[in-house]
Structure 1
Amino acid sequence: MSYRIQSGDTLSALAQRYGTSVDSLMKANPQITNKDLIYAGTTLNIPGSRDSFESGAQGLRGGSSGSSGNSGAGDVMAPTGGAGPATRGPGGSPYDIAVSHLGKNAGSLKYETTGVGADMEDWVPNNVNCANFVSACLEQAGQIKNSQHSASVMTLQSNLDRDPNFQRVSLKDAKPGDVVCMKVGSGEHVVMFAGWKDGKPQFIGSNNVNSDGSQRISYSSMNYPIMSVHQYRG
């Protein structure tokens, strides 16, 4: 999520408010070089607040996913409704790459030394890896460069808006692997479109489905307001 700095704010107070650390805030905001010097009116990326749904939260509905929002690959039907084949980059499909990591905890995946894990940022808290994971899948597929990787939903969205290889589309025109940014309460969440089941959109990503609030790579059916759907056209 993002926060507009107010007069009187300090990094230490904001870290305490949002359940993160000053070090994590500085890593998420490389423009800050002095922890004691921040400016009112500028935007701060907050890495330490949940950016996804929780078990049993609103938006989980139907199918065999259950209240946890987690399901196996067999629970999601092949794309229908004109979804078409998954988008692909020079390195393959980000959707297929994500599926290959189903069931893994983000906290473990980000420490793997090859593939998606190697592209994920280690410092990101285990309850906010959604953009970190999606960015890594896009990198592995060759759809974005390392410089476009972000652990912030809003920054990733902006990076894709500026990339001529991506175009915003409506959900009805989405293909598996398209990047879907959602508004979740006071924060944001990002997943990839996975197809349709019983007329409802399915998504795959790093979601807060573990009992301790940490994230696991899982399928989900959510009904949060969608901010954008980005489709690779490169």
Structure 2
Amino acid sequence: MSTYRIKSGDTLSAIARRNQTSVGALMKANPQIKNANLIIAGKTLNIPGSRDSYDGGQSRPAGGGSRPGGTSGGRPTQQTQGTGGTTGPASQGPKGSPFDIARSHLDKNAGSLKLEKGGVGADMEDWVPNNVNCANFVSACLEQAGQIKNSQHHNAVVGLAANLDKDPNFKRVSLANAKPGDVVSMKTPGGHHVVMFAGWKNGKPEFIGSNNVNRDGSQRISMTQMNYPIMSIHQYRG
């Protein structure tokens, strides 16, 4: 999700056309707008679009052996030693582990998952485009685990990270100290991406999340290795 500063003469419909989205999606992304025909120059809009995504075509899997953005084919196991670190117990919330919750949805398309009436799907916001569901999915997993409230759900990577920074139950940790289920925000060539740490495989970190792995650019829940720069890792300590 990117942002846009409204200019004099702009209309919501024109902004939507330029960004290949809809007026309805813009209003859902900007709940402060009550009237689609009344926007104020100088204000900033959230634009649902392509910035919060995993651009598999511009990154090689860090460990090799799986195509960019694809599933690695493995599962992290408890206390598996690799040269990069040790996979310990998964992060736990009052209602379970966000990692286990995410893993239960492996290989589901984000667009289909959002239609499910219960669980993670019910906590994902339907209006988010199917190519930018990474923060939507991670937020929903954290909600299902009881680690965050619905009010902390955010569909932008930087917005979710900011909410976790404000939450005293979360602390920033290094990759060496990460547990499965920790929230990992990354800087990508196209913007940002957020996943959850999934453990170590062959000495390399794996991550699970909603990734742009489908041929049409839409996202699917997958587990893979990535080599994007890490901006932050948030660990639940509640």
Same fold (TM over 0.5): yes
Aligned residue runs from structure 1 range 65-80, under 5 A:
65-72=66-73, 74=74, 76=76, 78=78, 80=81
Give the distance between the partners of 1:201 and 1:96, measured in 2 at CA.
17
Q: How many equivalent residue pairs? A: 233
Asked whether the 8 Å contact 2:55–2:190 carries over to 1, the reply is: no
Counterpart Cα distance in 2 of 1:170 and 1:41: 38
1:68: Cα distance to partner?
A: 4.2
Amino acid at match of 1:184: T
Cα shift at 1:114: 1.1
Q: Distance in 1 between matches of 2:68 and 2:201?
A: 16
- Alignment map for 1:194-233 (pairs within 5 Å): 194-233=198-237
2:150 is aligned with 1:150: no
Deviates more, 1:43-52 or 1:181-190: 43-52
Q: Which runs of 4+ in 1 moved over 6 A?
A: none
Residue 53 of structure 2 is matched in structure 1 by 52
Question: Within 2, Cα distance between the matches of 1:41 and 1:184?
Answer: 28
Flag the 1:16–1:199 CA change in 2: closer, same or farther, 3 A: farther
| Residue pair 1:183, 1:225 contacting (<8 A) in 2 also | yes
CA distance in 1, matches of 2:55, 2:27: 26
| CA spacing shift, 1:125–1:175, aligned 2, 3 Å | same
Alignment-derived partner of residue 7 in structure 1: 7
Can you give the 5+ residue segments of structure 1 that lack an aligned partner in the other structure?
Answer: none
Aligned match of 2:62: 61
Q: Which residue of 2 aligns with 1:183?
A: 187
TM-score (norm 1): 0.90
State the Cα distance separating 1:129 from its structure 2 match. 0.8
Partners in 2 of 1:173 and 1:211 — Cα distance? Answer: 35
Match of 1:172 among 173, 176, 187: 176
Residue 24 of structure 2 aligns to a residue whose secondary structure is helix
- What TM-score results when the alignment is normalised by the length of structure 2? 0.89
CA distance in 2, matches of 1:163, 1:88: 16
Higher-Rg member (1/2): 2
Cα deviations by residue, 1:52-86 (Å, 9 ceiling, x for unpaired): 223432142334322342233x2556554144211
d(CA) in 2 for partners of 1:66, 1:76? 18
